[in-house]
Amino acid sequence: MKINDYTYYYFIGIGGIGMSALARHFHGLGKIVEGYDKTPSPLTTTLQSEGINIHFEEFDSLTNKFPKNKTLIIYTPAIPKDNKELLFFRDANYDILKRAKVLGQICKDFQNIAVAGSHGKTTISTLLAHLFKQSPVGCNAFLGGISNNYDTNYLYSRSSRYVITEADEYDRSFLQLTPHIAIITAVDLDHLDIYHNEKNLLFSFQKFINQCQPDGTLILNHRLKNKFSLPANTVTYGLTPAANFWSEVVNHQEHIFSFHTPTEDFHNLQLGIPGEYNIENATAALTALYLDNNFYAALPDNLKNFKGNKRRFDIRFQNTDTIYIDDYAHHPQELEAIITAVRKLYPTKNMLGIFQPHLFSRTKDLADDFATALSDLDKLILLEIYPAREKPIDGITSEWLLSKVNLDNKQLLNKDEVIPYLSKTENEIILTLGAGDIDRLVPQIEELLTLKYANHES
């Protein structure tokens, strides 16, 4: 059967950011969509409010509810192999596909702009989606974060020929895509549980490059131009004139920059979110827009009105005393980028970082780099490692990581100790950082700060 021909679509791990976008897609097409996830979350609550039935207990039989010849089972590789529901559907010979395979089949009906790389995928793809949506051509989009402009990770257009996707390298998922335009941002070492070494990682990115459509374009961060065998239709981007398309930061505080193409220059552009690295991300998005002849006169306003994503340099509270920023950073390079950007914006303020390491394997493989990045904070609260899909590794603990951090003011806390700590201390800048369940603390910290400074002028 074709991907749209089923009546029922059942998601195992429906609360994941990529899975939830697919669930919204099929639900929007009028299909019957249901799913399982391990624990409730703000995202699963939102899906339920949209009319999608979700449960949080594994069942070992669902035969009567989902007819075999009318149901597609979609699962995420983050689901354990011994999940009762996954085992049941496999034993009963249901049609079962990984999330990435489903996304790849959907994208074949569109011109796909796919954003790959270790960092920046979510911001670039969401900015692209925002710019296209505000243009006459519109777009469809499957995003890896919740857009602050649209409060969703899925955009639909009945008429647009474009689909914008993140091309996730985890589990080699991006090899299901054959994009018309491919963007690669970075290839920092990560996901060693999948790739084991840099050679294997680069090999998979090379395969992704080779899958770009013959009449398409590869947009490559200029720092990567010597790492791959590149097709003729490759252009580079960056914050240096050495790139084919480049931007020059004019004002860090106001996020104003100039964008230079090989034939034209655009001055006094203003991005709606802070950070020099986000101006580099915007450069990639603008390059794709420019090359696809969708560089519209309304672009400056749409850039300025871009609000980013939840959990990406997400300013959740700000007054004269305290600034609270939440960010998904879970790799050393991402930590370095966000901490550096905050320093440039607020050079005189002290910074407290609350970091939850994500995965035992990542913590083990990149411990020294994590320690170096975290040492640039003024104060550090380290939470326990979020295991996600992994079992513990002997000796790999947050206490071990904390011992490597070169800071005097550092401590290990449980999540339930964070709010009491913050209520008793004064902090000029608070950062919550990580990709686990640290996001559950965000509304609690917002509420605490709102109450704490209720009598202060905002």
Q: Which three-class secondary structure string do you get for 12-46?
A: ECCCCHHHHHHHHHHHHCCCEEEEECCCCCHHHHH
**Amino acid found at 35:** G
Nearest-angstrom CA–CA distance, 289 and 279: 15
Integer Cα distance of 59 and 44 in angstroms:
18
What does the alpha-carbon distance between residue 113 and residue 434 come to, in Å, rounded to a whole number? 27
Q: In this structure, are residues 267 and 300 in contact, taking their beta carbons and an 8 Å threshold?
A: no
- Side by side, the strands of the sheet bearing 314-318 are 314-318, 323-327, 429-434, 351-356, 379-382, 410-412
Query: pTM for this one?
Result: 0.86
Which domains occur in the chain, in start order?
A: 8-100 (3.40.50.720), 110-304 (3.40.1190.10), 314-452 (3.90.190.20)
How far apart CA 379 and CA 307 sit, in angstroms, is 28
Element (H, E) at 199: helix 198-210
Return the closest-CA partner of residue 134 out of 108, 107, 160, 152.
160
Other beta carbons within 10 angstroms of residue 200's beta carbon come to 14
pLDDT (tens digit, 0 to 9) for every residue of the chain, 458 residues total? 899 999 999 999 999 999 999 999 999 999 999 999 998 988 999 999 999 999 999 987 776 789 999 999 999 988 888 899 999 999 999 999 999 999 999 999 999 999 999 889 999 999 999 999 998 899 999 999 999 999 999 999 999 999 999 998 888 889 999 999 999 999 987 766 777 788 899 999 999 999 999 999 999 999 999 999 999 999 999 999 999 999 999 998 899 999 999 999 999 999 999 989 999 999 999 999 999 877 775 687 899 999 999 888 899 999 988 999 999 899 898 999 899 989 988 999 999 999 999 999 999 999 999 999 999 999 999 999 999 878 899 999 999 999 999 999 999 999 999 999 999 999 999 999 998 899 999 999 999 999 888 755 44
Structure tokens at 45: 């609550």
**Distance, CA of 298 to chain centre:** 26
Side-chain half-sphere CA neighbours of 316 within 13 A? 23
In 318-438, where does DSSP find H-type helix? Answer: 332-345, 360-365, 367-374, 398-404, 418-424
